[in-house]
């Protein structure tokens, strides 16, 4: 049956209060309350296929100062895969030099998404 | 220590997001003699440990992590050849803008600045400032310290965690500690609303089933050498613990995310007037403090929740400082007071230097409670010139409203009032 979902958009710190309307088949018929197209997309995704960007860090060896290099999934991954991504990264170590944007892990946890560095370690 | 005084046009105290944006904007405004003093060994400030994403949507139109956002500005500062001294701690700023700094390589140096930009950021409110009984065992960290330990040092501060306070860093660390294998039992917040951004409650607590206990606080901490448990109780509307609501949480770690305080020791020494509400300098629309030629921006001025707005504000301070150096002090005009009332706790700027301004003024403010379906109204004397509907306003989110320069010129008000209205 038709339903309404109230969500808080997480695409940016504005945190818009979204109202997502779904029809009988569960298809999204409208998203309101968003202030940008990203919010509309978030509203649709969150009720059908929720996704998250994973950010974490991993140890780096061979750098002059840094012990850790921060990393993120290059794009969103399915929300249900977040802990698989974290588990796949556990125990991995990066080798300096690392520059922002370097791919450190290809196709992490079978998501098809790469893990890239978000800080420099020289 | 020699008597020689170096002369620089603009000295920026702090190389975090505010200092970097101010430096770039001052340079772009035509001032080539800009010096950044930074006490850390790298530029970027707190962004370097904020490895989560969500930064930069306003500035760069993409979602960046903290280190990436900082790197964008560092690249601009590098490209423009702006001088910076790292590992350099400012000890004193005098009323006539002599900056005294110390570093391991140069010892104590004195710099006569044409203009000074205060960009020292803020500090976390420490446990000592809170009335929690009990011993002082190991295992109690401010959320930002835990963030540094995990993200920069690669150390996990504990495994069973309770978080007191729902500031953004605490919420972010709830998720971060969970990713690192710790178990976060709950976040207790003494106020009936969260101090953090809504998005962080959704993506850092709700996603992981971590309960947010509003109107709850820590009433006891057990353990002499290491935290063994904390007791959390509900509080009444006067924030007094309600007997019978206590619940004990065995844990080894308590993180505190109970507010941020602008770091204004240097400002105070310089004779800068500080606000009792923001705890930052009282500034005009040029972000100039009560000491001529001393400007302030970013979290030292008032605590922001979005770095994008820090960058915007700091850029304005950088332009103002460049104009001050080029033009000198402006002739005194009739000051226009800004009154913050009816739910609006403060505004930055706190007053206008006059009504004959050549640029629109962005007023940033916070509200004192949770308000639904209210209008943010701006009055020039008795005339309402802005009336913007907001679905929700909360203390955790900074708001802003723009006053048009042509309206100010036309009406030449004595007072500007910013308030919330029901209709």
For each of chain A's 122 residues, which pLDDT tens digit applies? 678 989 988 877 677 889 999 998 889 999 999 988 989 999 999 999 999 999 999 999 999 889 999 999 999 999 999 999 999 999 999 999 999 999 999 999 999 999 999 999 99
DSSP-based three-state secondary structure for B407: helix
Which band of pLDDT confidence, cut at 50, 70 and 90, is reported for residue B132? confident
pLDDT tens, position by position, B191-212: 998 888 888 999 999 999 999 9
Helical pair B66-79 and B17-28, crossing angle rounded to 10 deg? 30
> Whole-prediction pTM value?
0.92
Separation of alpha carbons B111 and B96, rounded Å? 11
pLDDT, tens digit, for every residue of B85-107?
999 999 999 999 999 999 999 99
> If pLDDT is split at 50, 70 and 90, which confidence band does B148 have?
very high
Contact between chains at B151 and A57 (C-beta distance less than 8 A): yes
Please report the pLDDT score of residue B355 as a whole number.
86
- B182-191, B240-249, B356-365, B391-400: least confident range: B391-400
Q: Is A99 on the interface with B (CB under 8 A)?
A: no
Q: How far is B195 from chain A (nearest CA, A)?
A: 13
| Closest chain A CA to residue B51 | A70
Count CB neighbours of B65 within 10 A: 25
- Tens-digit pLDDT profile for residues A62-78: 998 899 999 999 999 99
pLDDT at B3 over 80: no
Distance CA A118, CA A121 (A): 10
Residue B397 scores a pLDDT above 60: yes
Helix segments in B99-142, DSSP class H: none
- Interface contact A92, partner B, CB < 8 A: no
- Is the pLDDT reported for residue B1 higher than 60? no
Q: Cα(B341)–Cα(B417) distance, rounded to whole angstroms?
A: 7
Residue of A nearest to B48 (CA): A119
pLDDT at B356 over 90: no
C-beta of residue B18 within 8 angstroms of C-beta of residue B298: yes
User: Beta strand pairing status for B212-214 and B216-222?
Assistant: unpaired
Q: Secondary structure of chain B: what % helix, strand, coil (to 5)?
A: 25, 35, 40
Query: What is the predicted pLDDT for the residue at B128?
Result: 60
Look at residue B419 and give its three-state secondary structure.
Answer: strand
């Amino acid at each position: 049956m038709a339903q309404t979902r109230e969500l808080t958009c997480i695409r940016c710190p504005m945190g818009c209060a979204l109202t997502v309307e779904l029809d009988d088949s569960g298809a999204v018929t409208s998203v309101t309350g968003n202030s940008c197209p990203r919010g509309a997309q978030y509203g649709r995704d969150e009720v059908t296929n929720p996704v998250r960007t994973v950010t974490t860090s991993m140890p780096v060896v061979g750098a002059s100062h840094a012990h850790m290099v921060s990393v993120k999934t290059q794009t969103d991954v399915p929300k249900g895969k977040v802990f698989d991504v974290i588990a796949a990264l556990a125990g991995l170590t990066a080798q300096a030099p690392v520059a922002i944007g370097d791919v450190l892990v290809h196709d992490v946890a079978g998501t098809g998404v790469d893990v890239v560095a978000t800080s420099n370690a020289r | 220590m020699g008597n020689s005084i170096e002369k620089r046009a603009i000295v920026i105290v702090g190389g975090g997001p505010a200092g970097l944006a101010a430096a770039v904007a001052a340079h772009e405004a035509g001032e080539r003699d800009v010096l950044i003093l930074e006490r850390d060994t790298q530029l970027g400030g707190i962004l370097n440990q904020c490895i989560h994403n969500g930064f930069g949507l306003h500035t760069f139109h993409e979602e960046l992590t903290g280190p990436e956002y900082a790197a964008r500005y560092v690249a601009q500062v590098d490209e423009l050849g702006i001088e910076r001294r790292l590992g350099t701690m400012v000890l004193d700023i005098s009323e006539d803008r002599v900056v005294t700094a110390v570093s391991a390589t140069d010892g104590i140096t004195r710099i006569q600045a044409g203009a000074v930009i205060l960009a020292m950021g803020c500090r976390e409110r420490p446990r000592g400032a809170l009335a929690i009984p009990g011993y002082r065992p190991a295992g109690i960290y401010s959320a930002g310290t835990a963030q540094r330990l995990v993200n920069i040092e690669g150390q996990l501060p504990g495994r069973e965690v309770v978080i007191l306070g729902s500031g953004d860093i605490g919420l972010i660390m709830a998720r971060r500690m969970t990713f690192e294998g710790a178990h976060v039992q709950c976040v207790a917040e003494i106020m009936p609303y969260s101090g953090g951004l809504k998005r962080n409650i959704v993506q850092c607590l709700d996603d992981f089933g971590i309960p947010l206990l509003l109107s709850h606080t820590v009433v006891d901490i057990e353990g002499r050498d290491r935290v063994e448990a904390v007791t959390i109780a509900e509080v009444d509307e006067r924030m007094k613990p309600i007997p019978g609501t206590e619940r004990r949480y065995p844990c080894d770690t308590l993180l505190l995310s109970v507010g941020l305080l602008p770091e204004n020791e240097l400002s105070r020494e310089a004779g800068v007037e500080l606000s009792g509400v923001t705890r930052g300098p009282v500034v005009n629309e040029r972000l100039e403090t009560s000491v001529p030629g001393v400007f302030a921006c970013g979290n030292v001025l008032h605590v922001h929740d979005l770095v994008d707005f820090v960058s915007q504000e700091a850029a304005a301070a950088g332009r103002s400082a460049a104009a001050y150096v080029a033009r000198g002090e402006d002739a005194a005009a009739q000051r226009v007071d800004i009154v913050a009332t009816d739910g609006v706790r403060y505004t930055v700027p706190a007053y206008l230097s006059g009504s004959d301004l050549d640029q629109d003024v962005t007023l940033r403010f916070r509200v004192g409670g949770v308000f639904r379906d209210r209008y943010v109204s701006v009055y020039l004397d008795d005339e309402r010139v802005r009336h913007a509907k907001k679905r929700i306003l909360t203390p955790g989110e900074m708001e802003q409203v723009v006053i048009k320069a042509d309206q100010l010129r036309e009406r030449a008000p004595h007072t500007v009032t910013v308030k919330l209205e029901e209709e």
